[in-house]
Amino acid sequence: MIDMDRVKVALVGAGSMANLVHYPSLSEIERAEMVAACDLKEDRVRSTAERFDIPGTYTDYRQMIEEVKPEAVYVIMPPHHLFDIVTDCLSRGLHVFIEKPPGITSYQTESMARLAGEKACLTMVGFNRRFIPLMQRVRAMAERRGDVVHAVATFYKNYLGQPPYYGGAIDILTCDAIHSVDALRWICGEPVKLASIIRRVCSGYENVFMALIQFESGCSGVLMANWAGGSRIHTFEIHTPGFSAFINPNERALIYDSSDEPVSIKAEDAAGSQEYHRIYGFYDENLHFIQCVSEERQPLTNFDDAAKTMKLVDLIYRSTI
């Protein structure tokens, strides 16, 4: 049984993303006890440990696990470095949190999910858009009005002239634009058919992705992701009968409820905070994982569920017109 008061957490990775959102979130969660951190760069892990008052520092995650005996391990690393460490942790019976994407292929994700099931491990992938307080509030408002008719997820970045992700280890849609893919699943359900357009714009690799998706629920979803755009723009739309919501998770949502005058909800008001890790859902996703481990129940974005999002990415690639 897990200690209902505190969950002993060890973290693999002390990079910029982990320090920006995961370490701050865990430090604010009463049930979470960060007992050790590990990174190949000793100066980086020591700096992180000092900042967040973590007693143990390591450069070898195996030694860390053997000595501190955590109940859960965070593996916050690039996707092409995840698999061996994650499967080792699962083989030891440890609960595991990872960032998106959950590996570089859906087969890797399914393999990790299968092992987690065999070892009765709890798992979670950091699809934080599902946990953004503004997104959750608006989705609940929409669903109170009826079934979602259609939803739109847009994700644009200016990435022109940049090399492929991690030198070509993983593609843009799987690595980053997958946030929009997963959000559409969260809003609409499971897909039944789709048509897509994938292009290379001023680039030697695919950087523009458009898809029209029909879901089992009857909802239609539209994905628009373009890494050849002018800036980072990331928005969502949710439409039910007589209700339309236009959401910018960084700023606000505009709600049209059978009215020409929108109701505006600020992101910081929905989160009750001006801190980025709380506005953008990182605190809530970490809290969800810790609560699930403490209560011995499977998190919402577990490896089995994440495999469905990865398979939808595969389907987008296979369904070009």
- Answer yes or no: is pLDDT of 3 > 80: no
What percent of the chain shows pLDDT beyond 70? Answer: 99
Cis previous bond, 101, omega within 30: yes
Residues in contact with 255: Cβ distance below 8 Å, sequence separation at least 6, in sequence order: 138, 141, 243, 244, 245, 262, 263, 264, 265
* pLDDT tens digits, 90-121: 999 999 999 999 999 999 999 999 999 999 99
Say which DSSP state 296 is in: T
What backbone torsions phi and psi does residue 210 show, to the nearest 5 degrees? -125, 140
Distance from the Cα of residue 127 to its chain's centroid: 2
User: Do residues 2 and 71 make contact, with C-beta atoms less than 8 angstroms apart?
Assistant: yes
Q: For 13, left (φ over 0), alpha (ψ -120 to 50), or beta?
A: left
Higher pLDDT, 2 or 165: 165
Sign of CA dihedral 284, 288, 289, 293: positive
Domains along the sequence of the chain with CATH = 7-127 (3.40.50.720), 130-272+303-318 (3.30.360.10)
- Answer yes or no: is pLDDT of 2 > 80: no
Binning pLDDT at 50, 70 and 90, where does residue 41 land? very high
- Answer yes or no: is pLDDT of 268 > 70: yes
* pLDDT tens digits, 185-229: 999 999 999 999 999 999 999 999 999 999 999 999 999 999 999
Q: What is the pLDDT of residue 4?
A: 52
User: Do residues 103 and 109 make contact, with C-beta atoms less than 8 angstroms apart?
Assistant: yes
Binning pLDDT at 50, 70 and 90, where does residue 280 land? very high
Mean pLDDT on 73-93 = 98
- Comparing CA positions, the residue from 53, 56, 115, 54 lying closest to residue 83 is 115
